[in-house]
Structure 1
Amino acid sequence: MPESSPTQTRRGRLLRRGASFLVLLAVAGYLAVQYVTGGTGDPACEVASAGGDGASYEFTPEQAVNAATITAVGTARGLPERAVAIALATALQESGLRNITHGDRDSLGLFQQRPSQGWGTAKEIQDPAYAAGEFYDHLVKVSGYSRLPLTVAAQRVQRSGYPEAYAKHEQDATLLAAALTGHAAATLTCEGRQAATPTGGPDAVRAALVRDFGREVLTAAGATVTLKAPATPTPTPSPSPTATSTALRTVTLPVSADTDTAAGTTARQRGWQLAHWAVANASALHIENVSYAGLRWTAGNTDSEWRPVATPKGTAKGTDAVRIVTAQ
């Protein structure tokens, strides 16, 4: 066998080093994109226990949006927190709270529902709000579902080949349900990274609210129902251009004792439900900050905590509002 010349050896080393460098560049580029876009591989949201026991669950912006939709659909139907926890545990097991386009045989979506088994068309099942509605339609037909062990209730709906699999998600699903139904205040935070292809602005927030909760979420709260961009107002003296810009980027959802809320839900719980929903959707909708009950969450903070904020002047006693400010 002929021996390699020194020139060939050097050329080989250079090629290997070049290939290694390109691989490192690719990995670095991937990580950078994931950081900027809030990609699915890097948890950027967290829900913490309100009981002070240190329990928490980390998840991605994609999972947060889907969890918020599942919860909103359930509460819009007046279903209890237990129903939401069952639905979230099921979606965690079936899809990891991701709206996937594949599965066993023709299974699709968050709950791995099958068109061939009457769950709807493939397009319908891939709509998270529709899929959640179908799950709840079947769950409420299970006699005494709220008193059954979670894994039993989920299995009565899913008919899975692994009937005990849902149990391992109960703690995480319970934490998520408590926050997203508003029963655990200021326990959900996200970093609020901007999505790669964001849909931002107040119109997008209103449209997403209607998509998840139904149009009543705007009319009941006294918010503007129109999904068109607000007309540019006639120039009038104002404190500053920034203040005017912020006002046009704000969706205000009044919450008070007179607000029409779902059965068994207080006005304060409804407020935290809407506030946590907004935080969960922050990356996708370019939400800059969310305020409620004297606290504010701001996107981009390293700790993403809810921090005290002064109550706006003129706020009547016994009333409050969820204020969602978008970045555009």
Structure 2
Amino acid sequence: MPEPSPSFERRGRLLRRGAAFLVLLAVAGYLAVQYVTGGTGAPGCAVVSGRGDGARYEFTPEQAVNAATIAAVGTGRGLPERAVTIALATALQESGLRNIRHGDRDSLGLFQQRPSQGWGTEKEILDPIYSSGIFYEHLVKVRGYTELPLTVAAQRVQRSGFPEAYAKHEPDATLLAAALTGRSAATLTCEGRPGGTRVAGPDAVRAALARDFGRLESTAAELGAARATPTPSVIESGGNTVLLPVTADKGSDGGRGVRERGWQLAHWAVANASDLHIQRVSYAGREWTAGNTDSQWRASAAPGGSGAGSGLDSVRIVTTH
């Protein structure tokens, strides 16, 4: 059998190297897509059960921002945690908690609402504040919705072709709602790796708070009027720090205490950390810092556990710049 020629061997080596290079490119491309879209290797968030039963849900920063918005709109309307759970489970099923511009027929947004069915204009539906609000408007018209099985309550709003699909998201939605309404303390964390497109800094934090919670009160003198509303106030904003006072939310169903309100704001800040380049959040003697390998809430670094953000009366948010 004749020996292969040197030129044939060279071509073979070049082909093998080319194939290996293409494989490397494919792997690199896959990892890049996964990073951007929230797959394996993406900067992540997690919420755990406050009961210590090991329940856990992992999700992306994009999903965290949308979940925090849905919860803020719900509590801002004075609705109970059950309403927020139903809304989150619905958005998990309909869009995976992503504000998508496509769907079945003309369905759009977090809840896959259809302009042709009277849910609003395309622009309105793609606004998470509007789409969350219009979902809650329909939900509260469902008689006894807090007592109904989640899938039944969601289906009476959505009229989906897959009415049983919402039920499988209830465990994850329950964990998210407990954290994002503030009932479950220090249970939501994110890596906080900067990745958003918004301009970072205290002004961006203030704008995002206004987006989710409504009009901001800008001075301490206005706090008297703010106490009866769910709108957070900024009493200090300087350098790279925003300080939010925490008062009981009297407008919600049955009222929520100071501690729950504080943890809602603290978890909201962590959920928005990547987008707004938030470096540190402090509340109730606990502190979350971006970039920790385990992303845990730890005892506050303030000496003796004192200082703004270490008690129940304020949440301190520190941005990277």
Question: TM-score under structure 1 normalisation?
Answer: 0.85
Alignment of 1:236-275 (within 5 A): 247-256=238-247, 262-263=252-253, 264-275=255-266
1:313/1:176 CA distance change after superposition, 3 Å: closer
Displacement of 1:25 in angstroms is 3.8
Q: Does the CA-based 8 Å contact 2:308-2:316 persist in structure 1? A: no
Divergent runs of 4+, >4 A: 32-35, 216-219, 313-316
The reply on whether 1:132 has 2:132 as its aligned counterpart is yes
1:78/1:203 CA distance change after superposition, 3 Å: same
Alignment of 1:294-305 (within 5 A): 294-305=285-296
Q: Give structure 2 stretches of 5+ with no counterpart.
A: 227-231
When the two chains are superposed, the root-mean-square deviation of aligned CA atoms in Å is 2.5
Displacement of 1:273 in angstroms is 0.2
1:135/1:315 CA distance change after superposition, 3 Å: closer
Q: Which moved more, 1:207-216 or 1:160-169?
A: 207-216
Which amino acid letter does the alignment assign opposite residue 27 of structure 1? V
Secondary structure of the structure 2 residue equivalent to 1:189:
strand
Determine the C-alpha separation between the residues in 2 that align with 1:166 and 1:196: 29
Q: Give structure 1 stretches of 5+ with no counterpart.
A: 231-246
Tell me which residue corresponds to 1:109: 109
Alignment of 1:142-221 (within 5 A): 142-195=142-195, 197-216=197-216, 220=226, 221=232
Secondary structure of the structure 2 residue equivalent to 1:17:
helix
Aligned residues: 302
Alpha-carbon displacement from aligned partner over 1:166-195 (angstroms, at most 9, x marks no partner): 000001000000000000000000010111
Secondary structure of the structure 1 residue equivalent to 2:146:
helix
Displacement of 1:23 in angstroms is 3.4
Alpha-carbon displacement from aligned partner over 1:182-221 (angstroms, at most 9, x marks no partner): 0000000001011153431000001001101111576634
Determine the C-alpha separation between the residues in 2 that align with 1:12 and 1:45: 47
Q: Does the CA-based 8 Å contact 1:47-1:57 persist in structure 2? A: yes
Tell me which residue corresponds to 2:38: 40
Q: Does the CA-based 8 Å contact 2:80-2:252 persist in structure 1? A: no
Q: Which moved more, 1:45-54 or 1:5-14?
A: 5-14
The reply on whether 1:326 has 2:316 as its aligned counterpart is no
Tell me which residue corresponds to 1:88: 88
Q: Does the CA-based 8 Å contact 1:198-1:283 persist in structure 2? A: no
Q: Does the CA-based 8 Å contact 1:190-1:299 persist in structure 2? A: yes
